[in-house]
Structure 1
Amino acid sequence: MSVFVKICGLRKADDVHAAIDAGADAVGFVFAKSVRQITAAQAAAISAGVPAHIKRVAVMLHPANEEWQTVLQTFSPHALQTDAEDFALLDVPGSVEQWPVYREGGPKPDTSGTYIYEGHKSGQGVRVDWSLAAKIARDGKMILAGGLAVQNIAEAITTVQPFGVDVSSAVESAPGQKDAQLIKEFLSAVRAAEKNL
């Protein structure tokens, strides 16, 4: 089983290239308030050369529809990632995948498609209860997020057996500063762990 890997919070073209070179399946760009926040125009510029098979993901948090439409028109992502309840208020074309975020302790995830499962707040490096996540991951395409790092990714993959994993802060040398070597090490650890599934 091959584990889908998303590297999130990319802010520079070099970060994007590092993620692609390491073997990431998706690259995430944060439009919510964060040290990793960039504009739709910046995201479009730094992701211009991303191969078509790698998903470009717009990561938002409770966006107004107008804000989302700007991102959609300027950046044209493959997928929109935001909290599950946000989608009812947004006009998302059928060509854009919807990746709802479900938070530990919140409503039961709709497992009919791809979804993110993480802690109460994104980008904080806080891990969820993997034993609970494992029960949920049996259905749909769970992308596990929160507190994943080189040191624990093998255990996370073995315990939860998610469709995918999502990492941001653990592949940074400083907040918002991606580190190509850490990205490479994370991908290598994932690929080693998936051989045991």
Structure 2
Amino acid sequence: MSKTPKVKICGIRKVDDLKICVEEGADFVGLNFVSTSPRLVSPKEAEILITYLYTSVPEFLRPKIVFLFYKSSTHYIEPILKNLHHDYVQYVSDDSLAPGESSPLYQTRDSRILSYRVRGNVNDESLHFLDSELLILDSYNSAAGGGTGESFPWEQVSEVKRPYLLAGGLHPENVAKALSQTGAYGVDVASGVESSPGIKDQELIRNFIRNAKRFSYNGN
């Protein structure tokens, strides 16, 4: 039986782009609350997107909502999590400002996603300290927590068996090859479906999701 990869489209800011994600069967959409990101959404903008999903999209078609934070204070994070519906919260694993395990803002193991920036070969043992059901394995950039469009050698994650979304430098033309080489649970894209930083290209979104979903792990 074939297994279809999961797809996360990150940095959604407009309802029209969200509609394409829904139409093409994206599994996750990321709303970016990182103040330095070109994909930053305000709480009000996020509310509009979330309202659309909950008033216009049947539950079985609704992608999971992921909130991204990086170098954000707990005073900033808390009201967003309290006032806006979400399914997951994404933190970068080496973010010194991320809430600690004792904080309710850190969420539970199955409702947080930890993003790890790969700088060499990793495997399940070396990633054991990352306490979340789902990981994101991304390229490392000291100046940003993600969304740089930079790739990393995929063979560095070839031994990772736990569920993760592969990120970093993905786009419609290379996503199937990335899945084939890594066997990743899914893929995560931001800049690879944009015409310029923070501006999504609907045709790229459509092609990315279709090319990822066309790939199946049994080769059929």
TM-score (norm 2): 0.81
- Please give the alpha-carbon distance, in whole angstroms, between the structure 2 residues aligned to 1:11 and 1:102: 24
User: Is the aligned partner of 1:48 residue 2:61?
Assistant: no
In structure 2, C-alpha distance between the alignment counterparts of 1:54 and 1:120, rounded to whole Å: 27
Deviation at 1:94? 4.1
AA in 1 matched with 2:12: L
1:10-25 alignment, distance < 5 Å: 10-25=12-27
CA distance in 2, matches of 1:78, 1:192: 26
Matching residue of 2:28: 26
**CA deviation string 1:141-173 (max 9, x = no partner):** 111110011111111000111111001111112
* Partner in structure 2 of residue 102 of structure 1: 116
Q: Name the structure 2 match of 1:88.
A: 100
Letter in 1 for 2:90: Q
Question: Distance in 2 between the 1:154 and 1:9 partners?
Answer: 21
Partners in 2 of 1:75 and 1:45 — Cα distance? 10
Structure 1 residues 62-117: Cα deviation after superposition (integer angstroms, max 9, x where no partner): 22212111210232211011112424164234497110111112894237610111
User: In the aligned structure 2, how far is the partner of 1:163 from the partner of 1:40?
Assistant: 30
Q: 1:141 aligned to 2:163?
A: yes
Is the 2:66–2:87 contact (alpha carbons within 8 Å) kept by the matching residues of 1? Answer: yes
SS in 2 for 1:72: helix
- Does structure 2 retain, via aligned residues, the 8 Å contact 1:77–1:96? no
Per the alignment, residue 151 of structure 1 pairs with 173
Aligned partners of 1:112 and 1:76: how far apart in 2?
A: 20
| Runs of 4+ off more than 3 Å | 93-96
Percent of residue pairs bearing the same amino acid type? 27
Q: Do structure 1's residue 117 and structure 2's residue 149 form an aligned pair? A: no
Answer yes or no: is the 8 Å Cα contact 2:137–2:166 preserved in 1: yes
- With over 3 angstroms needed to count, the CA separation of the structure-2 counterparts of 1:172 and 1:41, relative to structure 1, is same
Matched, 1:3 2:5: yes
Aligned residue for 1:146, secondary structure, equals coil
Question: Which shows bigger deviation, 26-35 or 76-85?
Answer: 76-85
Other structure's SS at 1:194 match: coil
Alignment counterpart, residue 178 of structure 1, candidates 200, 203, 206: 200
Q: Which has the larger radius of gyration?
A: 2
Alignment gaps of 5+ in structure 2: none
Q: Is 1:36 equivalent to 2:39 in the alignment?
A: yes
CA RMSD in angstroms comes to: 2.1
Is 1:75 aligned to residue 78 of structure 2? no
Aligned residues between the structures: 195
